[in-house]
Amino acid sequence: MSEAGLERRAFLGLMAAGSAGAVLPATLSAALQEAGPITTDDLEAAESIVGLAFTPEEREQMVASVNERLELYRELRKTRVDETVPPAFVFEPVVAPLDLPDEEVPLDFSAGPEAGAARGSDLDLAFASLGELQGLLRSGGVSSVELTTLYLERLEAYGPVLESVVSLTPELAMEQARAADQERGAGRVRGPLHGIPWGAKDLLATSRYRTTWGARPFEAQAFDYDATVVGKLEAGGAVLAAKLSLGALAQGDVWYGGRTRNPWNLEQGSRGSSAGSAASVVAGLVGFTIGSETLGSITSPSDRCGATGLRPTFGRVSRHGAMALSWTMDKLGPLCRSVEDCATVLQAIQGSDGLDRSVRDVPLGWRPDRDFRELRVGYIRSAFESDSPTAEWDRQALEVLREMGVSPVPFELPDDFPLQALSTFVLHPEQGASFDLLVREDREGSMVRQTRNARPDRLRQSRFIPGVEYLQANRVRRLLMEDMHRRMEQVDVLVAPTRAPNLVTVSNLTGHPSLTLPSAIREDGTPLSLTFTGGLFDEASILTLGKAFQDEVGLHLRRPPSFG
C-alpha cells in the first residue's frame, strides 16, 4: 500500500468511531485527495486503531457517510480557530453543595520591619518575604525603584545560569516602580503587593512583550492585551520584571532556549513546566511568580526546587490570556518563598472577570491566626508506609505534624478508577484541539524536543483518540469527582508526600487545591516536599496547616548556595 494510503487508513479509525474532535493535517488532507474514495477495506483496517470490529454489512452501510464526512471536515476547517478561542462548554468541579465562605478577610502580614528599621544587605533583600518587603517599602527602608533595580540585576546575572528567563521587562518594570513610589509618596498604596517585582510564566499574555509559550513556533508571538492575572497584579501595584521560562507548550523544563535548572543542583532540570517560575523565586530573582498547572506543573517544580507552590481550586483564578492546554484542567497559581506569600498573591489574582466563564467569586477567607489544631487532617497511609527512597524523610515530616498537636487519620485516594486512561483521554484531545492549527500547518516539527511523548508527539497522538472516548472519560471522571468529594468530606486537609502515587493525577482531574512546600533536605542538599490538598474552594485550610508546618521546620528560609 502507498504511504498516502497508509496515512489515510490511520486517520479512518477516528471517523469509524465517531471522532468529533478529529482534524486532518494539511499534508494528510492532500494525501487523502490523492488516494481516492474511502473503501470498506479502509474501514476494516482502521478498526484496529480504536479496538472495535464491525461486520462487512456494517462497513458497507457506513462507507458512504464516512466519505461524506471528509467534506464536512473540510467545511469545518474553512473557519480558522486560533489557540485563544475556548470551546462552548465550561467544566464545573463542584458535584455537591458546598459550605463556602461569604466574607473576605483582609490580609495583614504577620511579620515585617518596624518603621525606620534597616533593610539589611542586598542579599537579604533579594530573599525577603513579601511581608518583609512591604514593611521596608512602608517604612522607607527601600524604594520600589531600588528593589526593582536589584531584582533586574539578579535576573540579568543569574537568569542565564538557570536558563529561567525568556524576556526581561526593564522598561515596563522601571515605569511601574517609579509610579509605585510616587503613589506611595502621595499616600496611596494599592495593596500588599504595591511596588514588589514579580515574574510571569511566559504563557501569560503581555501587551508590551512577546509571549512565546516556551516553543519555537511561537518565539515571536505578540498579543495586544494583558492576561487577566497580569492586569490584576498591575492594578495591585506589582511590578512585572520578567517573563519566565516554561517547558515548550507547558510540558517539562525544556524550552527553545535550553533547560531550566534547579537552583540547588544545576545538573538537574527544574522539572515541570512552571520551571522558570519555581527556579527564579527560589534563587531570589523576583519577589514572587505566577505559574500554571494542568497535571503537576506547579507541584512538580515546587517539589524539585523547594518553592512554596499553591495550585488553586479549578475556577478560582481567571485563565483569560493564558495559553490553553486543557480547558477543563488548566489552573493558574502563585509560586513563592512562603505560604503567607502565596495567600497574599492568591487574594490579589482570584475572582471573575467576565471572560473566563469557569471562575466563581468565592472569598479566600483565610485567617492567619486560625488554630491549625482544629483542622481535621488525613494522611495517605500507603504513601507514608511505602519503601520509597524518600520514605524515612516523609515519615519524619509526618511526625513533626503529630508533635505540633495534629492527629492525622488514615486516608486513601480513590483506587478503582482507570486514572491513566482518564488523564490521557481528557487532556490529549483538548491539547490536540487547542493546537490544531500548529499540527495541520506542520509547524510542531520545529519544536526542540521530538522524543516519544514529548509535546509534538502527543499532539499527533491526540488525533487518534475518538470523540466518543473523550466523552466517556469525562463521564467516568464525574464518578471520580463524586468519590473524591465523599472522601474529602471527612477531612479538611489531606497530607501526603508530593510524589505519592496518583495524588497529582486525581486532584487535578477533580479540581481540588493543593499547597506544596519543602519538608526535608536530602544528604546532597536538595529539598523534598509535602503536599497539602484541600476541599474545593477551601484553600484557607491548607494555608493554615501549611503555614504552621512551615513555621515549625523553617526550610523555606534556606538559600541555594550559588545564589544566596
Catalytic residue numbers read 201, 273, 297
Pairing of strands 527-534, 514-521: antiparallel
Alpha helix locations (H) across 96-202?
A: 122-126, 130-139, 144-162, 170-185
Helix (H) or strand (E) holding 255: strand 254-255
Q: Which three cell numbers stand for residue 395?
A: 515519615
Strands ordered across the beta sheet of 377-380: 165-168, 239-244, 197-201, 288-293, 331-336, 308-311, 514-521, 527-534, 493-497, 377-380, 409-411
Reduced to 3 states (helix: H, G, I; strand: E, B; else coil), residue 254 is: strand
> CA-CA distance, 71 to 78, in Å (whole number)?
11
> CA-CA distance, 272 to 331, in Å (whole number)?
14
- Where b means 16+ CB within 10 Å and e means fewer, 440-475 reads beebbeebbbeeeebbbebbeebbbbbeebbeebbe
> CA-CA distance, 176 to 182, in Å (whole number)?
10
Nearest to 164 by CA among 151, 154, 174, 155: 155
> CA-CA distance, 39 to 59, in Å (whole number)?
9
Burial of 482 (0-12, 13-18, 19+ CB in 10 A): middle
> CA-CA distance, 107 to 188, in Å (whole number)?
18
Q: Which three cell numbers stand for residue 316?
A: 478560582
